[in-house]
Each structure stands twice: as C-alpha cells, then as structure tokens.
Amino acid sequence: MTKHRPSPLKRFGALVGAGLATLLFAGLAPSSSAAAHKTVVKKVAPTKRATALRRTTTKPNTTAAPPTTAAPTTAPPTAASTTAPATTTPPVTAPPTTAVPRGGVLVAAISSDPGQLNPAITTSGAVHSASELMFNGLVEIDAKGRLVPELAESWTVNSGDYTFKLRRGVLWHDGQPFTSDDVKYTFEEVLTKLHARTRASVGDAIYKIETPDPLTVVFRFFKPYSPFLQQLNVTEAPILPAHIYRGTDPSTNPANLKPIGTGPFKFESYRPGAELRLTANKSYFKPGLPYLDGVVLRVIPDASNQAIALEAGEVDFIYGVNGPDLPRIQANKSLATLETLNNPGGSNCIMTVSFNLDKPIFGDQRTRQAVLQSLDRKQFLDRILFGQGKVATGPIASGIPFGYAKDLAMPGFDRAAAARLLDDAGWKRTGSGTRTADGVKGVADGSALRFRFLSFPTFAQYGQLIKSQLGEVGIDVQLETLDPTPFADRVFVRRDFDTNVISYCNGTDPEIGVRRMYDLKQIGPIAFSNSSAYRNPLVSQQFEDASTRDNLDTRAAIYRKIQETLVSDLPYIWLVETTGVRAFRSSCTGITDAGHFAEAASCKK
Amino acid sequence: MASWLSRLARHPTGLVGLIGTLLVVSVGVAAPVLAPNKPFALVAPPLAAPSRAFWMGSDALGHDLLSQVIHGARSSLFMAAVVSALVLIIGIVVGLVAGSGRAWLDDLLMRVTEVVQIIPRFFLALLVSAMFGAGTTRLALLLGFTSWPTLARIVRAETQTLTERDFVTAARALGSSRRRVLTREILPNVVPTAFAYLGLVVAQALLVEAGIGFLGLGDPNTVSWGQLAGEAQRFLRVAWWLPVFPGACIAFTVLSLNLLGDALADVIIRR
Amino acid sequence: MTHAGLRFAARRLGLAIPTVFAVVVLSFVLIHAAPGDPVTAIAGDGGDAAYYAETRARFGLDRPIGRQFLSYLGRLLRGDLGRSYLQGRPVRAMIAERLPATLLLTGTALFLSTVIGIALGLFAASRHGRGGDVFVSSIAVLVLATPAFWLGQLTIIWFALRTGWFPVQGMTNARVVNTGWRAAIDVTHHLALPVAVLAAQEVAAVARLLRTGVLTELESAHVLMARAKGLPERRVYLRHALRRPLLPVLAVIGSRLGQILSGTVVIEIVFGWPGVGRLLLSAMQNRDVPVVLGVFLLTATTVIVANLLVDLASARIDPRIALGRNDRR
C-alpha cells in the first residue's frame, strides 16, 4: 500500500516551500489579507520577515531571551532524520529567576484584517498573525530552529510512527480539559481537509490516528514521513477544541469569531478592520506566563504609518519597518529593533529571477550568464532593501548551515564580460541601442533582445532596477506588475512570461523550499514551484538522493554538487537574501519573532 | 473666436493660465530634447538631495528626478488630453440632448448617465489595473469614458434653467428652430461651466493616477507625475524632493487649466 | 407636495429599479470577465486538484456563468449577498459591521464639504477679482491638485506625530476602552483628521462650482432688478443670486457621494479607518467576488438613492423642473 502513495515528502517540499515564497509578498502588499500565505516553520508576521534572532540593534531587552527559547532542549535539530527511533523529553519550561515586570497591555500593529480567527482552516497570513497567540500546536520551533514541546510533552518516532505524550492538565479557555481526542479530531476533520498546506502534505501521507488514552496520540503513516515534526507548530497544525467544533462545519462555526484555544491569551473582542483584543490566559500551561495582562492587535494597513504610530506611542510593536524609515527608528533611543534572518512568511528567502527556459532567447547559457553579469546586485541590497539582507552567493540561503555552500564560482558583476558573452551568443549591438539577433538559435535574425519581466506590484522596484541595469548592455526589458493571484496563474498555470522575480523562501531545510525550484517533476500548475522549468534529470536525482540520507554531511556534500551545477547552468539568478526588522518600545523585553511573539513579553510601565 | 483670444490675452489671470498650459504642453512635447538624461538611466547616487548636478535630486534607485519629471509631463499630458476630450464631447452632447430633448430621451439618457456615474470610478480603475495589468492608455480611456456624467448633469441642469429664460423664450417666439436655439443660444452659455469643470476632471484624472501609484498599481514602463507622487509617499519624511516636485507639477498644471477655464468663462459669457 | 410633484417622485422611483438592475448585471459581467481564479486565493500556496474541485463545488463556481448569475440574482432578491469565498461568512454581515465607520466618515465629509463649500463659494463670488476671491480660489485649486494620501500623510505628521493633537491611526483609542459619551468624544477625536482630508477636496470642488454659478447669476435680470430695487447686498446674494446656482451644486451631490465613497479607500488605508473601502480593496486582490459585488452594489444603491433625493429636492427649489417635464409631453 505504501508504494502507491505519491511521495508526500516531495509534495510537501513543493507546496510548503511555495507558501514560504508567497507569504512575504502577501504581507508586503498593501492591505494584503491575501488569502493564502503562511509558513511552514514559523509564524505570525503579517507583514515582513522574521524568525531567527540574528542580531539586535538595541541592547538589553532583546538579548534577554524568553524562557521558552532560552531553555536548552535536547530535541533533535530540525534537519535530523526521524527514521531512527528517538525519544525526546525536553525540559519543562521554567519561569526566569529574575523578576520580570508583570501587567500592562501590549499594542501591536498588524497590516491586514484577519476576517475570522480560526487558524486551522486557512493558511492566510492575516488570520495566523492575529490568532496564533490564542492557540498551540503539539510542538513549537524556536528561533534557532529547534523543536520545543508545546501541547506535546515528549514524542517518540519509531519506524514511521509518531507517538506523542500530551501535557497533563491543559485547559481550553472555556475550562474544558484538553485531550488526545482534540488532536485526533482537529487533524482528521479540519487540518487535513481545510488547511491547504497540511492537507496537501500530511493529509496524503497519514494512514491513521490512534488515541490509546486521553494523553497519548499515535500518528501512523503509509511510509516514513520525515518532515512531520516541523509541521506541528501553531502555524501548520493549531489544535482546535473538539467539543466546540465536532458535528459542525468548521469553516462557518461561530467560534471562528470568538475562538476558544489553549494559548497564552484569550479572546476578548474583535472589531473587523479595527482591532482584536486579547487578555492573559491565567491558567496557561506554561507556568508564570504570560506576563502581560493583554495584547491588542491593531490593523494598520500602511507601513509608514505603522512606524509613525510606534513613534507617537500609539502602538508598542510593529512587524516590519520600511527601508527609508529604518535609520530614524534605529536612532530612536526609546525604540528597539530586532533583525531577523528568517522570514516567518517563509524563512531564508532569496529574491530570485526566473528565466522561462521554454523560450528560445533563454536557451543559450551565455545569454543567461550575461544577464547575471550585467546586474550589480549590491545595488538591489542598498537601494531597494536599504541594507536589510545580503547579496546572495548561491542557490541555497546562508541560513541553512548544512545546505549553504561557500565560495561557489558564481560569475560577478562585469558589464564588459556580459557584452562579450552576448556578442558570442549572437546578440549584436550597434551604438547604444538594443541588441538584435544575428544567428541566435531558435530566434529570427534581426529580432530585438527584448523580454518581459513580471513581478508583484510590491516588487516593482526590482523590475525598475533590472530594466535600468540591463539597458546599459543593450537589453530592453518591458515591465509588468500583477497581483499574486493572477501572477501565479500567468507564471505557473499558463506559463505566459519571459522572466519574473519571486521571493523563494528556502525554509529550514532544502527539502522544504529549495528542491521545488529545480525538480523537473515540479514544473506545472502548482504555484511557486519550478518557475524557470529547469529540466536536469541529474539534479532531480541528486535531490531525491539527498532526501533519503540521514547523515547531514552526506547531504551537505550532495547539495554542494547540486549548487555547483546550478551556478554554472544558471536557470535562475539569485539576487539578494532578505531579512526583516521588527521594532518595539525598548521598555519591552522578551518579544520574539515567533507565532507566540508576546507569550513571554513584558513591558516596564 | 479670435475676439475671445484677444480678450483672453488682456485678461490677467487668463493670460497666466494660458502661458502655464502652453508651458506644460511644450515641455511634454520637447521632453526628449529637454531632459538631461533618459528617464530610466541610473545616473545619480541614490536619494541625493537637489544639487547643481541634479536639480531635483534623485530617487532611491538613482534615477535623475528632473529627467523623470520632464518625461512625466508627456504621459500626464496624454492622460489629460484623452480624458478631457472624451469628457467634453460626451458630457456636453448628452447634457444638451437630455436637457432640451423629449422626455423619453431625457429619461433614457439620464438612466445611462446614472449607471455610469454610480459605478465607483476609482474602484473601477483599481480593479482594472489590478486584474488586467497597469497601463496608461487603458487608464486614460477608462477615466474618459466614466468621468462625463457629472458634466452631463451640470449641462442638463443649466440647459433646463436656460430653456426657461427670457432670451431663449424670445428666440423661440421669433421662430428659431429647436436646434438653432440649442447651438446658438444654449451651447455658448454652457461652455464656460464645462470648461470650469474640465480643470476638475483633469485634476481628478492625475490624482486617480497618483492614487493607483500609491497603491502600487501604476504602469511600470512609463513615468508619470501621478505615479512619481504616489510612489514618493514612502519617502515623505526622508526625501522631501521626491513628493514635492512631481506634486508641484500636478498643482501647476491643474492651476493653469483652472485659471484658463475661469478666464474663458469670463470672456465668453460675461462679455 | 403638489400632485405633479408626487407623480414626478413616483416616476423617478420607478426608474431607479432598472438602474439598480443594470448595475448588478454590469458589475457581475465585469468582475467575472477579469482573469485570475478565486480558488487560487482560497487555496493559498498549497492545495491539490481535489481541493480545487471541492472548493469550486462548495461555492458553486463549477456551474455555468449564466446559472451562477441567476442564482446570485435570486438570492439578491431575498436580500442575501452570498458568502465570502475567503472567510466563509455572509457578505451582508461583513459589510454591515464596517458600514457604520464608513457612513460616519463619508456622511460627515459630505455634509461639511457642502456647507463649507457653499459658504466659501459665495464668499469668493462676492469678492470677485479681489483678494478674498483669489485667495479662496487658489487654495481651492491647490487642494484639488494635491493627492489625498499626501494630504493625509502630512496631517498625520504635523497634527498627530509632531503636535500630538490628534491620534495617528484608527477609530478608537487602543489603550482605553471607552463607553458612552467618552466613546463619542474618542471617536470624534479620531474622526477629525480623516474627515478634514476627505472633505477638503470636496469643499474646493463645491466652492468652485458655486462661485462660477453665482457670478453668472449676478449678471441676470432678476438680480439686477433686485439690486435696482435697492435691496441690501446680503439679501441680494442669499435670496436672489444663490438660489439657481444651488441647482448644479445639488445635481452633483450624487456623484460627489460616489467620489467620496471611492476616496475612502485611500483615506481608510492612510488613517487605518476600519471601513468598507479597505474591505473592498482586499476582496479585489483576492478575487473574493461576492464581497466585491456586494460593496459595488451598496455604493451604487447609495448613489442612486442620493440622486433620487436630489432630484426631488431640485423639484422643490424650482417646481418648473417637475412641472416642466410634464408640460412638455
């Protein structure tokens, strides 16, 4: 029976990774709410990027990590294989020893209205950023990518079966006890039916769920399914109360507007388009938490005005800072910032230009390399991102330590070299005009070196910079902007495009967000998969090979080989790795960039 | 016609409006010659303040704002011309016919006017830009074909009022045909109102374009004032020159058109 | 109201119904002609073929367009605007919970702009060619030529951030939950800046329109007569020169309402105002067709009703409009 199932792993990689790609965009789009986008590994941010806590620009507060993340854990690293039996009993979270100010209400800005507040029935970034504080998953993933117990106290993996011991004494916000039945119900009736990503990945792989007792859940799979533990956080698999939802249509249950969860904060009130008010859950299962009396999530659609509201003291926390505003925010002594390497909308995102390889003008590698060498990618970092990120050095983001390859031989910015390559490829130029074909395979002689460039409206600046830079070497770029929904239709369904830019988020493992871009089986109608239509059986085979290996060094070696092929084939151009900046009042500490960003936050009066 | 012009030339604010309008038109026409750089060339350091080298400074990507503004005059002019022409023609014809024609014709035209009018124009522009892709021509046609109802209603109302007036009654009593009354007596009286309204329509068209740019849905292949102004919103506190110069151009154009319109009203009607 | 007035009103009312129908058809066709699949937005980044098929069936998207239209129309007649694809909630409820905020904003802006616009227009006309006129007219044109989002942003920076006189964002204070008259004051405080910006352009438009009308009217025989009779200037303006120019001002109220409603999209985004405009914008981006249609319909119906009222009011001011039409039959 197992053989006949499609490999869930691959699909997971494709679908989830794709999600990562889009979340960022959705969040950046004016008042996005774009249905769609949520992440695999982490969480919340409605707008910009976040997760791994890489650098703090202001001193004491952010370094005081919240108890959950500070606690060392013996949980396996995310990339570790799960095929071998492994038992994990990470330490129970303990309250910090130092006195932490209690009380107060944190006002946070979110950029889109959630509409409804049930995170299990949707992948919408707007819904998740608003509702995750009220819910929990079985397992959480901390800022360093480690698995941390949440509703599950410990877990065992044995030949493809996952057994979770649930935490004792957890109560729903209405006082009912949380049991294994809630987990079984949520997976069977909600997540694998209505949560698009979990449905498409876990839903296909799962064989059955057993509940031998109220505090034990066993997931059985058709065949070993390694990414499972990373899909159990509040973003991918929030657990709903069965006693509220059973027997109803979960997509229209009135509780979606007055949610009952297990999370650190309880629902108080919601005014659509305006604000969502939450109060502290006094009987939260993590002792001592939360410190705050409540959290108010205000919908502020305009990014510059989020910054102004923060400066004026109307809000205490914003998810992202506009590039031009960043220096001012950083100079403000009463504000702190937290730069995050990984995007919640997908961690480890790389702004990537795709070539539609089905088009004859991109058939010659020299043309693609000429485009790469015509681009001064540092300008993208400086002028569009205002330094929030770094120039990409290869196909796999630097945030995946074992996948990242140093010193790849990727050709650098060199206009003269680009011009020579184009000449060699048959694109001749007279004067300062647009180049025309003279002996280019598959292209009529005399036709101009002109192509269309498609982007989301929020990424229009990338197009402008590319148009300007490529104009220098005689390439004419026609820009086009489209909202995410029609964009996906044009690129992945109809394949009616020449080049585009997509924020491909790699996730925490190349299986999640890298493989989908190069695997020849992932060309086709799935959104944010292999956009260039790169067909290299060897590379596809190598990815397959890497996915079955347990040993990280072995995988790293394979990924290095893959990347060497890719930087020489250049099916894509990897422009810049992007990061995000969270900003908040410097009197607040313990704020993280994860889904439960305010779980351990506390603010001095 | 010639006498209007000579009277206009002696009208102080009218002359200013005329000169201003002509100035904008000539900048637009001569843009490739006037602009020191191509609009998309990266010639300046990013976000440079106005200086001797770059009179209006530069944007975040390093484009010379002066060159962009000069080239922007073209698409803004094009937009203004298309929208004005469509609005004037459709609005005056529909208004006159409805205001003076048979009752059933009036009802029919007013129904059509109402349907066009109640479709929210900015929403429509947004919808079209977002779903079919951004484009200056598309936007200009869309605005032209949807902006006339207000003018039509004004013209109709004026026509109705005028129809009852002494001189029209007199003209009809003297045996003038209905058409003659329309073209000779009513039309000249309606034109000033129409022109006064035109400044508003052009201003609105440029502002709709700006709003679309603000929401990130502008045509990325052309430079226009509205779009420059819209995209500059993010930089309002960082680089004052980005919003100010394109904005000043919009204001200048609209102001000139308005002064011209007012003056035309003076010289044509209150002769 | 006179007999003729009543008949006029009834006829206008009867004509409004086909107008509403035309709007429904137009918007439905327009929105369905646009490319982009709503299911892509619902499915998000994931979703397999079966999910797409199920979702289509759930919202009846698998049926022919004609059938979809008929069932939409059927539900519309029962006052049902359908359910949002994205949120699964009734569109009517989604609009209803946002409507008060939008009505408050647009209603206040419409009222203030009409009153202030008429006053300024009259003032400018009475100072024709002099300092006051030039000042009012120039400011009006400048305001008309300024994008609303800048005006909004500037007021936020000056009157909220720098001076702290007004709040930056939203409709209520986030830190204190007020009730009763305190809530009313709180909302008014938040309303001030967005209303000022939204009304500013309309004030300018009304003032200009009225000024032109009054200037024309001042030349007319009956005003000259009134002046010749030696009536005080104030009376000449208010009783004689103002009456007829009010007609065109009234005539455009309907379209101004449409304009103001459209204008709220940008204002609501800039000021974080929780109204219908933002709902529409996000629904458009996600191809949430029932919501887009619902808001279009609401806007259209509002404008139709406003036009109806305007026509009736015009007929009262100048009864010949109602009578005249009938006479000419």
Instruction: Show me where the domains of chain B are located.
Output: 76-269
**B188 inside 8 A of chain A by CB:** no
Q: For residue C328, is pLDDT > 50? A: no
Residues A350 and A462 in one domain: yes
DSSP secondary structure letter of residue C28: H
DSSP state of C232: -
Is residue A591 pLDDT above 90, yes or no?
A: no
Q: What is the pairing mode between strands A499-505 and A580-585?
A: unpaired
Judging contacts by C-beta atoms under 8 Å, the chain C residues touching residue A205 are none
Q: Which tokens sit at C184?
A: 């009313």
Q: Are residues A270 and A231 in the same domain?
A: no
Structural domain including A604 reads 50-57+102-111+264-341+582-605
Do A506 and A430 have their domain in common? yes
Name the residue with tokens 């926390």.
Answer: A317
The pLDDT of residue A576 is 95
> Are A323 and A360 within one domain?
no
B220 chain-A contacts, CB cut-off 8 A: 460, 463-464, 479-481
Burial label for A267, CB within 10 Å (0-12, 13-18, 19+), is buried
Residue A242 and residue A318 in one domain: no
A255, A286, A304: which is the final residue of a domain? A255
Q: What mean pLDDT is reported for chain B?
A: 81
Residue A464 lies in a domain: yes
Mean pLDDT of A537-550: 84
Residue A70 lies in a domain: no
Between A289 and A512, the higher pLDDT residue: A289
pLDDT score, position A238:
92
Q: What is the average pLDDT across C248-252? A: 75
Calpha distance B148→B151 (Å, rounded): 5
Would you state the pLDDT for residue C174? Answer: 82
How many domains, in total, are found in chain A? 3
C316, pLDDT greater than 80: no
Spatial distance between the Cα atoms of A190 and A237, rounded to a whole number of angstroms? 10
Confidence of residue C319 (pLDDT cuts 50, 70, 90): low
Distance, in Å, from the CA atom of A124 to the CA atom of A256, rounded to the nearest integer, reads 14
Whether A6 is covered by a domain: the verdict is yes
For residue A9, the model assigns a pLDDT of 37
Is the ipTM here above 0.85?
Answer: no
A interface test, pick of B221, B228, B236, B241 with most A CB neighbours within 10 Å: B221
Lowest mean pLDDT among A48-57, B5-14, B114-123: A48-57
For residue A51, what pLDDT band results from cuts at 50, 70 and 90?
A: very low
**How many residues are listed for chain C in this entry?**
329
Does A198 share its domain with A289? no
User: Which of C138, C147, C219 is facing B214, going by the closest CB pair?
Assistant: C147
Containing structural domain, residue C79: 3-328
Among A183-187, A227-231, A318-322, the range scoring the smallest mean pLDDT is A227-231
Average pLDDT over residues C219-234: 75
CB of B247 less than 8 A from some CB of A:
no
A472-497 average pLDDT score: 86
Quick one: which of B85, B108, B86 has its CA closest to B97? Answer: B108
Please give the average per-residue pLDDT across A15-36, as a whole number: 34
C176 shares contact with chain A (CB less than 8 Å): no
Question: In the listed set A255, A279, A299, which residue is the last one of a domain according to the structure?
Answer: A255
Residue C13 has pLDDT above 60, yes or no: yes
- CATH number where C62 lies: 1.10.3720.10
- The least confident of B19-33, C94-108, C306-320 is C306-320
The shortest C-alpha distance from A28 to chain B (Å) reads 11
> pLDDT grade, residue B167 (50/70/90)?
low
- Please indicate, yes or no, whether residues A368 and A512 belong to a single structural domain of this protein: yes
Q: Is B216 within 8 Å of A30 when comparing Cβ atoms?
A: yes
For residue B93, the cross-strand partners are none
Is residue A513 domain-resident? yes
What CATH number should be reported for the domain holding residue A22? 3.90.76.10
d(CA A260, CA A113) in angstroms, rounded, equals 19
Total of domains in chain C: 1
- Residue A21 lies inside a defined structural domain of this protein: yes
Distances (CA, A) of C24 to A567, B150, C67, C257: 54, 21, 15, 19
Confidence at residue B17, expressed as pLDDT on a 0 to 100 scale: 84
Identity of the highest mean pLDDT range in A302-306, A524-528, C24-28 = A302-306
What DSSP designation does B39 have? T
Percentage of chain C lying above the pLDDT 70 cut: 90
Distance from CA of B218 to the nearest CA of C (A): 15
What is the rounded CA–CA span in Å between residue B84 and residue B92?
12
Q: Do B60 and A383 touch (CB under 8 A)?
A: yes
Q: Which residues of C touch A256 (CB under 8 A)?
A: 88
Say which of C23, C144, C215 has its CB closest to residue B115. C23
Q: Which of A263-277, B147-161, C287-301 has the highest mean pLDDT?
A: A263-277
Q: Please determine, for residue A284, whether its predicted confidence score (pLDDT) is greater than 60.
A: yes
Contacts of A121 in chain C (CB under 8 A): 88
Q: How confident is the model at residue A602 (pLDDT cuts 50, 70, 90)?
A: confident
CATH number, domain of A272, equals 3.40.190.10
Amino acid A60: pLDDT: 32
Residue with tokens 């086909």: C18
Among 3.40.50.2300, 1.10.3720.10, 3.40.50.280, 1.10.1070.11, name the CATH number for the domain at B76-269: 1.10.3720.10
User: Chain A residues with CB inside 8 Å of C177's CB?
Assistant: 277
The answer to whether the Cβ–Cβ distance between A467 and B131 falls below 8 Å is no
Q: How far apart are CA B166 and CA B168, in angstroms?
A: 5
User: Is the pLDDT reported for residue B156 higher than 90?
Assistant: no
Question: Cβ–Cβ of C150/B247 closer than 8 Å?
Answer: yes
Nearest to B75 by CA among B203, B212, B219, B197: B219
Please, are residues A504 and A566 in contact by the beta-carbon 8 Å criterion?
no
Closest-CA residue to B258 (of A267, A86, C204, A482): C204
- pLDDT bin (cut points 50, 70, 90) of residue A436 is very high
Calculate the average pLDDT of chain C. 80
Written as six digits, the tokens of B166 are 């002494």
Measured distance CA(C5)–CA(C8) in Å, rounded: 5
Q: Is the pLDDT of residue C152 over 80?
A: yes
* pLDDT reported for residue A230: 74
Residue A29: pLDDT above 60? no
Structural domain contains residue A83 = no
